[in-house]
Amino acid sequence: MRFFPLLLVACDPTPSPEGPPAAESTVRPDILLVTIDTLRADRVGAYGDPLARTPVLDGLAAQGVLFTEAHSVTPLTLPSHASLLTGLYPLHHGLRDNGGFRLAEGVPTLAEALAAGGYATGGFVSAYVLDGAWGLDRGFDEYRDPFHPQDLAAAPVFGEVSLPGAEVVNAALAWWKAPAHGDRPRFAWVHLYEPHTPWQEHPGWTGDPYRGEVAYADSLLQRLVDATDEGDLVVVTSDHGESLWDHGEREHGVLLGRSVTRVPWILRPPAGLPLCVCGGGRAPAWGASATQRPAGVDAALVLDPVPDAPKARSVLRMPVSGVDLAPTLADYAGVALPGVDGRSLRPLVEGQALSPVPVYAETWFPAFHHGWAALQMAQDETIRLEQGAFLTESAWTEDPAGRGSPRGGRHGAGLGAAVQRWRGQADPRPGPLSGDQAAALEALGYLSVVVAAGPDAPDPRDQVGLLAELHGAEALPPERAIPALLALVRAHPQMADARISLALKRAEMGDLAGALADNLTLLEQQPEHSTALGNAATLARGLQQPELTLKLAERLRRINPQDPRGYRLAAAVYVDRNDAVQVLEITRAGVAIAPDDPNLLYLLGLAEIESGDPLAGVQRMQEARKAGTQATDLDLWIGAGYQRGGQIDEARKAYDAAVRSMPGDPRPWAMAGWMLYKADRCADARPYLINVARRGARADPKVQEALQACSGR
């Protein structure tokens, strides 16, 4: 434990353009960063919510600083976290949606900078959208993302593949307390998914289900905070908020209102470093909420406006962005993170002035998923501007719902310039590419989804009613959902997600051919839609259409060589064809990019056992077991591998294990009996052969031969 005296300083009232340099840090503090997914600022007690039960967050705020106007860069988990962990806006880190996008190798990350600066680095994520496959693992000594392809197959929505927060906290604590770090300072990033839909019930909580999830996430935070001491830097923030029916959106992703961009940001600096005590500044008044909840939906959510009444040791009201997080942490750690779009807020925390800069946010989700316009937002200290197919602005003192009343020229040129600058000149749209360009973009893990929205695309703020229609239809049982979704895609053929849902409902009804046809229709519009590709390939394999499966799997691999699905599906087809050479080739390539994929490891093991490298195959099967394979015949194949490798006693042990793990299956008895007979070990073989015979395989000519031979000796 390290203790430092508190060093409280007053805030500097006069902004200076540069801001004085931050105080020299003499210690490199341990850093705990917690991102609570989908946490809306005004649902935290420290931000003024009287219905919140968030004592841990409130306690951190009471010891540190709270930013009232912290904004995420996009309401999408992967690109928002990429900004938090690189200090770059999406234009520069390249991730514009969940999945399909991968952080390019050349983009520097905070974790890399900290590791280079001598930090031990651990990342602990709760959702597949943050799997290391998307590139955020770079720079972490340990990155815990135990998601398996079979999880994906089991979940209809890939955004819902997640781990319980308690499990993630356990893993993070074990790492935090591990003696192996020695004298190195620690950086842990812990991601909790609880407030994300579906909202689960938690014991002891009744009423608002969203607030219940937030309260539960807060309780998980307790054990992490308990593991820190006063010398540590603790930061808690979120990747985006939740609309909760603001302007008609239930969750997040499509709209860009304050309820989704504004997130909590609470920082408890290491004791001994300066901490300003600021409570001043004008409280923003955003007026009435624009909540539009359909009748009878989510009735338990309490949507009354929450007063802006922050309670913290220090309240900072300057608008700040997710891109400021990485440079701030790097500053405290004393490591360089050059070339970022954000800036260190440490001077502000330490009572020095920083000149305000507009914050920027965007969402391409409406374009990628529904064929609508993308949205951009910029906000400074007085005005918020939202741009889509049309422009709105609202002042802090006016009703934010007063959209559609553009007051040309009222906002400073700074906001429009911020939108132009961070949006980028061109839409993230691959368009017709040369072979070389395509190869380069693929190497960067670029687009998996072609933007369908054209210049005349409707504005999501006008279309959001269709979302409620889509969600309503998705909630119906399949026989009623299918006609509703059909009507929706006929009227709005660009709504890709509606077509995906239609296909899922058909599959649920057993209409696999219809589901495949829906996915193929979508692929005609958007040939590189990775979800449609993966689903279509899986369905094609289920319908025993190997040529189509191979074609779709090949396209998946071409779009994102890091996506294991393309390898698994192609390998499965070659297994059906008994083509060990092809299985070997494709699973080797797959394991190279996904070394923990249990399905690929298993298939590679099979191929190695079948094609002359049986002991390598045994090793592969053991790796598949460690990775959590669901295959039940693992021991049988391990036995076969040892047998072919000439290790009779090891093979026998594996067959014995298979006897236990595959009860009722005669194969392990038969294979062990035959092997031992052929090895001239009749006494050992006899009990196995008798057991096979008892299991009804007496007629098998090999069993007969072995039984006769061995009973005679």
Label each residue of 539-586 as H, E or C. HHHHCCCHHHHHHHHHHHHHHCCCCHHHHHHHHHHHHHCCCHHHHHHH
Judged by beta carbon, residue 98 or residue 599, the one nearer Zn ion is: 98
Q: Does 208 bind Zn ion (CB under 5 A)?
A: no
* Residue 245 Cβ vs Zn ion, minimum distance, rounded to whole Å: 18
Q: How far is the CB of 471 from Zn ion (least distance, A)?
A: 18
Looking at 233-241, 326-334, 460-468, 503-511, which segment touches Zn ion (CB under 5 A)? 233-241
3-state secondary structure of 414: helix
Query: Least CB distance from residue 282 to Zn ion, whole Å?
Result: 30
Alpha-carbon span 125 to 255, nearest angstrom = 25
Interaction of residue 77 with Zn ion, rule CB under 5 A:
yes
Backbone φ, ψ for residue 531 (5° rounding)? -65, -45
Decide if 541 contacts 554 (C-beta within 8 A): no
Under the binding rule (CB under 5 A), the answer on residue 37 touching Zn ion is yes
336: Cβ contacts below 8 Å, ≥ 6 apart:
113, 330
**In this complex, which beta carbon is closest to Zn ion, that of residue 352 or of residue 531?**
531
CB of 77 to Zn ion, least distance (A): 3
**Shortest CA distance to 268 belongs to which of 62, 69, 122?**
62
> Judged by CB under 5 A, which stretch of 73-81, 373-381, 388-396, 567-575 contacts Zn ion?
73-81
The nearest distance, CB 82 to Zn ion, in angstroms, is 12
Nearer to Zn ion, 49 or 242 (CB): 242
Q: Which residue is nearest to Zn ion (CB)?
A: 77
Q: Residue 239, interface with Zn ion (CB under 5 A)? A: yes
DSSP 126: -
Rounded to a whole number of angstroms, the minimum distance from the CB of residue 244 to Zn ion is: 14
Shortest distance, position 129 Cβ to Zn ion, whole Å: 7
Stretch that binds Zn ion, among 232-240, 404-412, 537-545, 677-685 (CB under 5 A): 232-240
169 vs 194: CA distance, rounded Å? 12
Positions 560 through 619 that interact with Zn ion (CB under 5 A):
none
Report in angstroms how near the CB of residue 246 gets to Zn ion at its nearest. Answer: 17
Q: Does residue 42 belong to the site contacting Zn ion (CB under 5 A)?
A: no
Number of residues near Zn ion (by CB under 5 A):
3
- Residue 296 burial (CB < 10 Å; 0-12/13-18/19+)? exposed
Instruction: Please choose, out of 31-39, 45-53, 465-473, 583-591, the segment that lies near Zn ion by the rule CB under 5 A.
Output: 31-39
- Taking CB under 5 A as the rule, does residue 331 contact Zn ion? no
By CB atoms closer than 10 A (0-12, 13-18, 19+), residue 55 is middle
CB 345 to Zn ion: min, Å: 22
Q: Give the residue with the Cβ less far from Zn ion, 37 or 42.
A: 37
C-beta closer to Zn ion: residue 37 or 386: 37
Stretch that binds Zn ion, among 37-45, 324-332, 403-411, 483-491 (CB under 5 A): 37-45
Burial class (CB in 10 A: 0-12, 13-18, 19+), 78: buried
3-state secondary structure of 329: helix
- CA distance readout (Å), 402 to 112, 252, 306, 378, 407: 44, 21, 19, 17, 11
Q: Which is nearer to Zn ion, 162 or 376 (CB)?
A: 162
Q: Which range in 43-51, 77-85, 261-269, 454-462 contacts Zn ion by CB under 5 A?
A: 77-85
DSSP secondary structure, 147-199, as one string: --HHHHHH-SSGGG-B--HHHHHHHHHHHHT-GGGTTS-EEEEEEE-TTSSSP
265 CB burial (10 A radius; 0-12, 13-18, 19+): buried
Stretch that binds Zn ion, among 74-82, 227-235, 294-302, 402-410 (CB under 5 A): 74-82
**Rounded-to-integer distance, Cα 587 and Cα 603, Å:** 7
Give whichever of 37 and 137 is closer to Zn ion, judged by the CB atom.
37
Alpha helices in 87-126 (DSSP H): 90-93, 110-116
Q: How far is the CB of 301 from Zn ion (least distance, A)?
A: 18
Q: 179 Cβ partners below 8 Å, 6+ apart?
A: none
Q: Does 242 bind Zn ion (CB under 5 A)?
A: no
Contacting range for Zn ion; rule: CB under 5 A; set: 32-40, 320-328, 332-340, 574-582: 32-40
Q: Which residues bind Zn ion (CB under 5 A)?
A: 37, 77, 239
